[in-house]
Amino acid sequence: MSAHSTQHKTAFSHLFFWFMFANGGGLAALVLPVHILVQGILGPLGIVPVVDQHYDTWISVLGNPIVKLYILVLVALSFFHFAHRLRYLLVDFGVPAAKSVPAQAIFYGGAVVVTIATIWILLTTAPLF
Amino acid sequence: MKAPAQAARAEPRAYRWTMPANWWTRNRHYFLYTVREFTALPMALWLLWLLYDIKSAGAGAANFQPPRSAAFIAFSAVCFLFATYHSYTFLKLAGVIMHVKVLDKTVPPRAIIITMFGLWALATVVIGAVLIGFAR
């Protein structure tokens, strides 16, 4: 066996997807419950005032570049995490086709599509400054 | 040389193992594992709604409809339960997955779990304060 054949190659695709999966899961775990609680339950019930219940406050907050970046990172990372989990859930439910390359293209491609749509929505909804 | 019939008999037969469709309902741990994996779907749906909410703000003040319907609140309540379960299971796993060394000493998993739950509490307070504090 030659020395060349024993060299290890860095699996960059694995590195990338595990980075997205782990950080997406972590970020969603840290911040998503409070978004859902405040924006989805307490605000609509009128228990607390929330930025997205009034047009002027919502559009003002959305115009902030830090908020745009935060929403983009939250959505992009989370959707890569969701894509990975749902694909393997299908495998667990007895759908081996979910391991295939076309299935990977659909799930991770879906995450890419949502990320691109998020960029477009954030850039077109509220002016940056 | 073997005869064709003998060769066919000697060929290994593939054992095709299949899980019963209801495997995940047979054991509490399997069920909770499945629920944990499933949490991704309601969370994804809620984030898609958030994108729709952001997009609807672009339609202008006259067309803006703040989300207040009972159906939306019920949907959010269901998503909140799944999102909280995701947080609990994911942050609890951090102690197993993460191996952190400080001054050549491995940080105990319990300390990592406590730190992660502390970060969750801190993020909840900060984001909650921003969402409420910047409201009119």
Q: Does pLDDT of B5 surpass 80?
A: no
Tell me if A44 and B69 make a contact (CB, 8 A cut-off).
yes
Q: Of 1.20.1300.10, 2.60.40.10, 1.20.120.10, 1.10.287.610, which CATH number belongs to A12-125?
A: 1.20.1300.10
pTM for the full predicted model:
0.86
Check if the beta carbon of residue A31 is closer than 8 Å to that of residue B84: no
**Every domain of chain A and the residues it spans:** 12-125
**pLDDT per residue as tens digits for the range A39-92:** 999 999 999 999 999 999 999 999 999 999 999 999 999 999 999 999 999 998
**pLDDT per residue as tens digits for the range A10-36:** 777 778 888 888 899 999 999 999 999
Q: Does pLDDT of A2 surpass 60?
A: no
Residue B59: list chain A partners with CB under 8 A: none
Domains of chain B: 15-133 (1.20.1300.10)
Confidence (pLDDT) at B38:
94
Q: Give residues 61 to 80 of A whose Cβ lies within 8 Å of B.
A: 61-62, 71, 74-75, 78-79
Check if the beta carbon of residue B109 is closer than 8 Å to that of residue B96: yes
Confidence (pLDDT) at A1:
46
**pLDDT per residue as tens digits for the range B60-85:** 888 888 888 999 999 999 999 999 99
**pLDDT per residue as tens digits for the range B88-99:** 999 999 888 888
Check if the beta carbon of residue B35 is closer than 8 Å to that of residue B43: no
- Give the pLDDT band of residue A106 (cuts 50, 70, 90): very high
Measured in angstroms, the CA of B43 and the nearest CA of chain A are apart by: 8
At position B97, the amino acid (one-letter code) is I
- Contacts across the A-B interface (CB distance below 8 Å): 176
Q: Does pLDDT of A9 surpass 80?
A: no
Residue B83 vs residue A7, higher pLDDT: B83
Check if the beta carbon of residue B33 is closer than 8 Å to that of residue B24: yes
Confidence (pLDDT) at A121:
95
Rounded to whole angstroms, how far apart are CA atoms A116 and A112?
A: 6
Confidence (pLDDT) at A55:
92
Measured in angstroms, the CA of A9 and the nearest CA of chain B are apart by: 23
Tell me if B80 and A33 make a contact (CB, 8 A cut-off).
yes
Could you tell me the CA-to-CA distances from A92 to A1, A35, A86, B30 in Å, in that order?
39, 30, 10, 11
Measured in angstroms, the CA of A122 and the nearest CA of chain B are apart by: 8
Structure tokens at B96: 């197993």
